[in-house]
Chains A and B, each alone.
Chain A
Amino acid sequence: MVTFRRACRMAAAAALLLGSSAVAAQAASTLETVKARGKLICGVSMGTTGFALADAQGKFAGFDVDVCRAIATAVFGDPNKVDFVMTNINTRFQVLQSGEIDVLSRQTTMTYSREASLGIDFGPTVFYDGQGLMVAKSLGINSAKELDGAAVCTLPGTTTAQNLADFFRATGKKFELVVFENPDENNNAFFSGRCDAVSSDRSDLASIRAASKSPGDYVILPETISKEPLAPAVRQNDSNWRDIVSWSAWMLMAAEEKGITQANVDEQLKSQDPEIQRMLGVTDELGPMLGLDKNWGYNIIKQVGNYAEVFDRNLGEKTALGLSRGPNSLWNTGGLLYPPPVR
């Protein structure tokens, strides 16, 4: 009797307390909401080496995280005014639609149907990825076309399995799909020889390889069997906010193009190049057109760095992932990054 009453009271108290934390926010535009809140809320993955991962102190770092920090810096001039919300791969779009996050920066591939039917808009591609296959070196295979009757490990959902089916139909070879719900199980199955190959985005394969006891024993095959342009996403019908997200990403690339780095940005304030002057807010006041500070570009470069710095710090040759720039270099060095002019 007494226990029951205690339980009743507790239930009521807990419900009341938790209820008070329910948020009712969001005025007209996302920018206003973000400014009123005093920080950006950015959806990232639940832990992917190089893209978004919390360190031992719970502080997030990674490529996707730095994109978020660039946006926060554009709005507030401070890369730390951002809260990261971990989003599950199955619920990431709903979390964005429902307004729980302001921007989704989560290794998400821009596709037609996502843009057309999910009520979201994508920003520019910040990372060009593609699905690949990795095998053990001991198999002695140099091309995915030589795989016949291979067992291929993958994670569920998305488009991974479809791409594999398309690829193997084209080569006329057979394959057996082995799907794992959990990334650790997936990787262990591959390393223990349960599967002949593992398939995922190439950046992901690099991180799986980095996790093995002897990364030298595995080789990522040269074929890229799908296009995976990874881009940040925002809710549909808020062009101003989409512009801010897009130009924050392009600012990173434009800074690299112009050779502006975290270290030399203060000197570059004196530069005579009119585009640099516009980027850094020395002349023309471009920022206020989007509702930002006039030195938003300066802030991003000063606080976060340029694209090359972000890439090298999180994914580059010196990191555990050891990715080369490949298609993610600027257009004038043979890559695909082509930021529109700042003018």
Chain B
Amino acid sequence: MSDQSTTMAEGRSAPRRPARRNETFKAYFGTPGNTVVTLICLVLLGLAAKAAASWLLINAVFDGAPEDCKAASGACWPYVAAKLRYMLFGIYPFDEQWRPLSATLLFIAAMAVSGIPRLWGRSLIVAWAVLLPVLFLLMAGGAFGLTEVATSQWGGLPLSFMLTFIGLVCALPLGILLALARLSKLPAIRILAVTFIELVRGVPLISILFMASVMLPLFMPEGVTIDKLLRAQVAIILFAAAYIAEIVRAGLQALPAGQTEAAKALGLHYWQCTFLITVPQALKTVIPPLVSLFIGFFQDTTLVTIVGLLDFLNTVRTALRDPNWQGIAVLEGYVFAAVVYFVFSALMGAYSRFLEKRFRVGHD
């Protein structure tokens, strides 16, 4: 897919541009039928754009009280402004919300820095090993003069981020190991991996979350409870690992056998061959499906509402129940949530395209 588009771009050099523009024009207006279809689509698009613009901007209220919104026919943006901090941080103590804010910003910055291939190395591992406890301390407090905030008070965007990215980063190595186990020649290991993967893939995420939050505590000795957030996090890790395993397995099986054979001929043993030759190449091949999975998980974390955790979408949803704004603002919150989800999902997509280009995925 992607190698095709690169060769196309390379193949058509600058002087041939006009011809291509002509082709585009032909594609839309070449025949009377095409022209009619194009015009109808343009009119529909225009109408939709006009309706959206009038609701989002022209008739919208940007400043004022609930009463002003009731009178207007457009969107009610003061509502989003008034509830912004609740939507972002949920019921985290109001005066302490600089903590989740700085934790989230730090986390995003760290993710961005870690995304630069030139920086991949030991120092990055050390940096993360330092950063994660700092982030946790920032959120949970209880030391250095920070008041303690129980995990049951965490919510909103930091929670979504944490569940998604810590979940996926932990699930990735687990998934790779599962994929290797599934391809193993040792029957016991293979059967274990197959059983785990098929069992987890055979049930929906919601039921695993439910098991983790409802069944698990009943098996624990009396008086011992495991943090609810931890339970949800572990459930997400296990679930994601099964899916990652299958994607990575596809990548491993797509590798030409020559790669392993050459590695063996050079005298590399299994682990060297696996982690120096096959896994890196397999991971490169499966970047697009992996990123789709990651984006999907970013959105699926919202299912944690079933165990009583309020992620970003659910803080937005409960914000709607504020009696002062009830019946006035409904869509606005969802529009805001959609924009936030879109921005982060689009960033992940863009990063995956960048990686694909950098590693020149595809067999030339």
Interface residues of A (CB under 8 A from B): 1-11, 13-15, 17-19, 21-27, 41, 46-50, 53-60, 83-88, 90-91, 94-95, 97-100, 184, 210-213, 215, 319-321
Contact = CB atoms under 8 A, between A and B. Distances in A.
13 contacts: A6-B128, A14-B169, A17-B136, A24-B224, A54-B91, A58-B90, A91-B210, A91-B307, A97-B217, A97-B218, A98-B220, A99-B222, A211-B326
A4 B271 CA distance: 13
Q: Which 10 A-B pairs have the closest CB atoms?
A: A98-B217, A320-B323, A47-B318, A26-B223, A11-B170, A211-B326, A58-B91, A57-B94, A18-B230, A85-B152
B120 A2 contact: yes
Range for the number of chain B residues in contact with chain A: 35 or more
A98 to B, nearest CB: 3
Contacts of B124: 2, 6
B321 A95 contact: no
Contacts of B173: 4, 7-8, 11
A184 B317 contact: yes
A83 B318 contact: no
A7 B305 contact: no
Given A14-B132, A53-B322, 15 more contacts: A1-B280, A5-B125, A9-B129, A24-B225, A26-B223, A26-B225, A49-B323, A49-B326, A57-B85, A90-B306, A94-B218, A97-B217, A210-B323, A211-B326, A320-B324
A81 B253 CA distance: 58
Given A46-B310, A184-B317, A18 B220 contact: no
Given A56-B85, A91-B308, A184-B330, A100 B217 contact: yes
B279 A4 contact: yes
Contact of B305 (A21, A46, A184): A46
A180 to B, nearest CB: 14
Contacts of A99: 217, 222-223, 225
Nearest to B326: A211
- Among A24, A55, A86, A91, the one with the most B-chain Cβ atoms within 10 Å of its Cβ is A86
B321 A320 contact: no
B180 to A, nearest CB: 12
Contacts of B224: 24
Dominant secondary structure of chain A at its interface with chain B: mixed
Contacts of B170: 7, 10-11, 14-15
Interface in B295-324: 305-310, 314, 317-324
A99 B228 CA distance: 11
A56 B308 contact: no
Given A58-B86, A60-B91, A6 B176 contact: no
Contact of B217 (A24, A58, A94, A321): A94
- Among B213, B279, B309, the one with the most A-chain Cβ atoms within 10 Å of its Cβ is B213
B294 interface: no
Dominant secondary structure of chain B at its interface with chain A: helix
A83 B230 contact: no
- Among A18, A19, A99, A319, the one with the most B-chain Cβ atoms within 10 Å of its Cβ is A18
B140 A21 contact: yes
Contacts of B120: 2-3, 6
B125 A88 contact: no
A11 B120 CA distance: 17
B276 interface: yes
Contacts of B330: 184
Contacts of A48: 321
Given A4-B275, A57-B94, A210-B323, A13 B132 contact: yes
Contacts of A7: 169-170, 172-173
B128 A10 contact: yes
B202 to A, nearest CB: 21
B227 interface: yes
B327 A84 contact: no
Given A7-B173, A46-B305, A57-B94, A13 B223 contact: no
Contacts of B309: 86
A37 B213 CA distance: 23
Contact of A85 (B85, B122, B220, B308): B308
Contact of B132 (A17, A47, A57, A86): A17
B276 A1 contact: yes
B327 A212 contact: yes
Contact of B225 (A25, A49, A53): A25
Given A83-B153, A88-B305, A99-B225, A58 B89 contact: yes
Given A56-B82, A58-B94, A320-B326, A17 B133 contact: yes
B83 A26 contact: no
Nearest to A43: B308
A22 B321 contact: no
Given A9-B129, A11-B169, A320-B326, A18 B229 contact: yes
Contacts of B93: 58
A58 B92 contact: yes
B303 to A, nearest CB: 11
Contacts of A15: 170
Contact of A54 (B86, B136, B214, B306): B86
- Among A3, A5, A320, the one with the most B-chain Cβ atoms within 10 Å of its Cβ is A3
B32 interface: no
Given A18-B229, A97-B217, A47 B91 contact: no
A46 B94 CA distance: 18
Nearest to B321: A47
A196 B227 CA distance: 44
B160 interface: no
Contacts of A184: 317, 320, 330
B150 interface: yes
B35 interface: no
Nearest to A211: B326
Nearest to A23: B225
B321 A49 contact: yes
Given A19-B230, A53-B321, A100-B217, A88 B153 contact: no
B361 interface: no
B121 A2 contact: yes
Contacts of A100: 217, 225, 228
B153 A56 contact: no
B233 interface: yes
